[in-house]
Structure 1
Amino acid sequence: MSDLLFRPLEADEFELFHRYGPLPASGVGARHLPFDELDYRPGWVWVALRGDDVVARAGFWGPRGSERPMSLDWFDPGLGPDRIEVGAALLRAAYAALSAPGHATRAGERPDYHLFLPADWRERPDAFADATDRIRAAEEAGLHRSVERLNLRWTPEYGLPPRQGRLTFTRAVDDESVIDLLARITEGSLDAWDRRLLAEKGARETARETLSVIAGMAGGRDRWRLARDASGEPVGIVMPTRNDEFATIGYVGVVPAHRGHGYADDLVTEALHIFTAEGELEVRDNTDVGNTPMEASFARIGYRVTGRRMILI
């Protein structure tokens, strides 16, 4: 390992990142856009060099305007017999630098690792091997598995589901009302992110953080809708938005007392009608593996699974 150099790249050095070679033929780590269109920044892209050879690489990403990376979402630990050790050492060096004084990473917080996977990665030996290399290297670097998610896609060509008319939707304009509702929805949530924050911060702070994250996305909050039943009782909320690249439902949730009636279908359908009226050509979403009610709802509405994503923290 003493013959290795780990360092970040400047903007005029990104060709070094590509010198490593292509992504695995298995599809592990594949992105929907090429590297140059994903807004990777100088200092957040790292390589491991053995002489002039790039033997491992890692790309950290954050939304436009952010001062710190939000995620590690491009990582190739190499192909040699010491690839796990090399990949782990690269991640340790990069995480240490990005957490050092002078960077905007908050204390005790580090970017999650998002590993993009084919939907059938466990059934295919090549994909399983490529994924396992990356997971093992990340775990050796100190990360651990948090959740696996289904990546989902909907386009108007799949068919716009009709509104059922069971709920009345109004704009979500008052922060405190939204926080109150989100705090109620966190009870019994099957979403790993909700449950993680709930254990650390409690229901109300989890709700505040959810509102802050979704409000900070590129789509703003004009599309957010509160849902009420015929009696005027709040049933849930849906928060359609956009990230830097595509339309997405930032959050959808049903109050515990109203679960089991298929209201998630109504909430997602409302979001798709809003997106369609605005001319969006596709909507990309995800849900945790194990959140079977939400997975079933997306399937009924017509979403298609495009892959999986494992998150290590």
Structure 2
Amino acid sequence: MTIVRPARPDELPALVEHSGDTERNAATRAYLTQLLDSGCTRPEWCLVAEDGEGRPAGSVVLWTIPGQEVPLAVVLFEAPEDSPETGTALLDAAAAKARELGATELEHVVDSPAQAPQFQRNPERRGELLRTAGYEVVRDGRRFTLRDPCGSGELPADDPRLTFRSLAELGPEPFVAVLADLLVDTADARLAADVRQHGARRAAELLFEETAELTHEPAWWELGYDEDGTVAVISLPAENPSVPVIGFVGVAPAHRGKGYATSVVVRGTRVLTAAGATEIRGDCDAANVAMARAFERAGYVNFADRLEFARTL
């Protein structure tokens, strides 16, 4: 029987160490240290599975947004290659702990290719373990990055067809209304599922509230108005605990096909760069080809693919 327990103080932040893999060991130690320091996790949320000698052989860590008390996801999930039962036991223990803390769902993301800080090697096996534990794929995503935005010259200018007004000026209601409008036929699988479950208006409110939990200034969030006076784009750049992100961007249905997707990515990039960002990340659903092209046209590079899994508790 696999024993899963909270990590002891002397096991933090290393948890599972891999012999001869110094890059991975250093990156994951630094990542867990950052999570603990920022309040994204707590020592009692770091679980390990013991080997026959009582040492960590596998791990899983619960994660949340700083300041929140309810876990939202699992990170640093690792299990021995030859012990799928250990992986399942870790995921079940994490689910039980999260449920105890009030969570109703847990997420986990799998990035390919494997990279710092989690080094999720063998994604096929990882996916099998997640499915066995009750997780389902809710989104097939593409991840983009723009490093040193000003290092290679001036950023592209704002689209002269658009006039921007901020959340500080307008308040939340116009933003939620635009989100509700564009979510009706969104290409994002996760957001489309929210619309089916809650309706467009409530899904828009949830998206606004969720994004608002990230660090941002009201002046950063903007609506872009077309020359005819109607809202064409929405831009919600922010900072997550690790890196500035484009957050959410979208083009109102009546203004699609005008090249505004690139314009709104550029606008969010300019806002974050002015706030001091030296790297910016963004993502979109693989089915949202127009947004993927918009990131690329704005200078971003697709550095990873990301499968998003979720488990109802």
Q: Same fold (TM over 0.5)?
A: yes
Conserved? CA contact 1:115–1:311, under 8 Å: yes
TM-score (norm 1): 0.86
Partner of 2:12: 14
Match of 2:142 among 136, 147, 150: 150
- The Cα shift of 1:281 comes to 1.1
Match of 1:135 among 101, 122, 127: 127
Counterparts of 1:156-195 in structure 2, within 5 Å, are 156=149, 157=151, 159=153, 160-172=155-167, 173-195=170-192
Find the aligned partners of 2:294 and 2:251 in 1 and give their Cα distance: 12
Conserved? CA contact 2:13–2:29, under 8 Å: no
Would you say 1:62 and 2:59 are equivalent positions?
no
Conserved? CA contact 1:73–1:115, under 8 Å: no
Counterparts of 1:220-231 in structure 2, within 5 Å, are 220-231=217-228
Would you say 1:245 and 2:247 are equivalent positions?
no
Conserved? CA contact 1:221–1:239, under 8 Å: no
Q: Which amino acid is the alignment partner of residue 91 of structure 2? A: L
- What RMSD in Å do the two structures reach over aligned CA positions? 2.5
Find the aligned partners of 2:114 and 2:284 in 1 and give their Cα distance: 13
Would you say 1:197 and 2:194 are equivalent positions?
yes
Secondary structure in structure 1 of the residue aligned to 2:296: helix
Match of 1:209 among 185, 190, 206: 206
The gaps in structure 2 that reach 5 residues or longer are: none
The change in CA–CA distance for 1:239 and 1:298 in structure 2 (over 3 A counts) is same
Number of aligned positions between the proteins: 295
Partner of 2:75: 73
Q: Which amino acid is the alignment partner of residue 169 of structure 1? A: F
Find the aligned partners of 1:288 and 1:200 in 2 and give their Cα distance: 19
- The Cα shift of 1:9 comes to 2.3
Q: List per-residue Cα deviations over 1:131-175 (Å, max 9, x = no partner).
A: 111111111111111222222111313551222301111112322
Find the aligned partners of 1:215 and 1:201 in 2 and give their Cα distance: 19
Partner of 1:297: 294
Q: Which amino acid is the alignment partner of residue 227 of structure 2? A: A
TM-score (norm 2): 0.86
The change in CA–CA distance for 1:119 and 1:113 in structure 2 (over 3 A counts) is closer
The change in CA–CA distance for 1:67 and 1:184 in structure 2 (over 3 A counts) is same
Find the aligned partners of 2:13 and 2:34 in 1 and give their Cα distance: 14
Conserved? CA contact 2:73–2:108, under 8 Å: yes
The change in CA–CA distance for 1:33 and 1:206 in structure 2 (over 3 A counts) is farther
Conserved? CA contact 2:5–2:48, under 8 Å: yes
Find the aligned partners of 1:119 and 1:134 in 2 and give their Cα distance: 12
Partner of 1:123: none
Secondary structure in structure 2 of the residue aligned to 1:274: helix
Runs of 4+ in 1 over 3 A off after TM superposition: 10-13, 18-25, 30-34
Would you say 1:93 and 2:93 are equivalent positions?
yes
Secondary structure in structure 2 of the residue aligned to 1:34: helix
Find the aligned partners of 1:128 and 1:18 in 2 and give their Cα distance: 13
- The Cα shift of 1:67 comes to 0.2
Q: Which amino acid is the alignment partner of residue 185 of structure 2? A: G
Find the aligned partners of 1:245 and 1:143 in 2 and give their Cα distance: 25
The change in CA–CA distance for 1:248 and 1:141 in structure 2 (over 3 A counts) is same
The gaps in structure 1 that reach 5 residues or longer are: 121-126
Partner of 1:104: 102
Would you say 1:269 and 2:294 are equivalent positions?
no
Q: Which amino acid is the alignment partner of residue 113 of structure 2? A: P
The change in CA–CA distance for 1:171 and 1:129 in structure 2 (over 3 A counts) is closer
Secondary structure in structure 1 of the residue aligned to 2:105: coil
Partner of 2:111: 116
Q: List per-residue Cα deviations over 1:215-258 (Å, max 9, x = no partner).
A: 12112432011111111111121111111232111211111111
The change in CA–CA distance for 1:36 and 1:228 in structure 2 (over 3 A counts) is same
Q: What percentage of residue pairs aligned between the two structures are identical? A: 28
